Amino acid sequence: MTKLITTVNEMSNLSRKIKLQGNTIGFVPTMGALHDGHLSMMEQSAEENDVSIISIFVNPLQFGPNEDFETYPRQLEQDAEAASKVNVDYIFAPSVEEMYPDELGVTLEVGRMAKVLEGAQRPGHFEGVVTVVNKLFNIIRPDNAYFGKKDAQQLAIVEKMTRDFNHPIKIKGVDIVREEDGLAKSSRNVYLTAQERKEATYLSKSLQLAKQLYDQGERDSENIINRVTEYLNSYISGEVQEVAIYSYPDLVKQNNITGQIFISLAVNFSKARLIDNIIIRG
């Protein structure tokens, strides 16, 4: 039976007890509204660790002033039921006041890696991410932590933060889980209209086009970006906000492609901003 924990003290004391008993902890941080992508990470956590813990916390620090913090889907009871089916032992679901009882006097700044892609579009977003992840790591003290590759920039930044701050935690990237028609699973997909939902399938198809061009020997980033952008514009009503090619995981912009890269895109629909990517090994 999955147990719900809502206070930092109880969660911290429990994790300390688990570690003293010699058990390993797997941890999946989430903002709730769980979908199959989250559940696949939880299944892996349960398989690879003695105790599996998830967090459900909509973190205000990673939302900008005009973003969807207030309307972000919150469904704790439904999420708890889903988590229990994939052998999650504990859900840590604190309130905002519990996580941030006082105004933060010390903040973290992410360097160059947060100044591109999502970080450029959403200033302060990754500072909010690393702040809450640091707090969660210190409270739960997992051995393994699981993050989805759909948020590939976030994954790279969390890996770097973990090394820089000497967290004794192994970060595990989990492959993107997609709908049958290719759309990456996302809590924000519920914001799409019926027509936009049909159009959204072309995001993953455009990435396959990019991979096809790469496999055929194309190494000029601008050529791939232009082809992908033209393809998207011909099939979707949303605004193509960005198509970009960066090295991975160090996130250096690529003009002439070498080594491992990831090709990412962001599209604005009427009420949802969707991202997707593909990582191509050099």
As annotated, the binding site for (R)-pantoate includes 62, 154
Instruction: Output phi, psi for 115, to 5 deg.
Output: -100, 5
Q: Report the alpha-carbon distance of residue 131 to residue 134 in Å, rounded.
A: 5
The partner residues of 178 in beta bridges, in order of sequence, read: 184
Cβ atoms of 148 and 174 closer than 8 Å:
yes
Beta partners for residue 126, in sequence order: none
Using an 8 Å Cβ cutoff, are 205 and 182 in contact? yes
Residue numbers in the known binding site for ATP are: 31-38, 148-151, 177, 185-188
Residues 6+ apart with CB under 8 A from 104: 131
Residues forming the annotated binding site? 31-38, 62, 148-151, 154, 177, 185-188
**Spatial distance between the Cα atoms of 220 and 256, rounded to a whole number of angstroms:** 5
Residue 180 is classified by DSSP as T
Q: Please tell me whether residue 25 adopts helix, strand or coil conformation.
A: strand
C-alpha distances out from residue 166 to 101, 142, 162, Å:
26, 13, 6
Structure token pair of residue 267: 């599209």
Which residues does residue 90 pair with via DSSP β-bridges, in sequence order? 3, 53
Residues labelled catalytic: 38
Asked if the bond preceding 249 is cis, omega within 30° of 0, the reply is yes
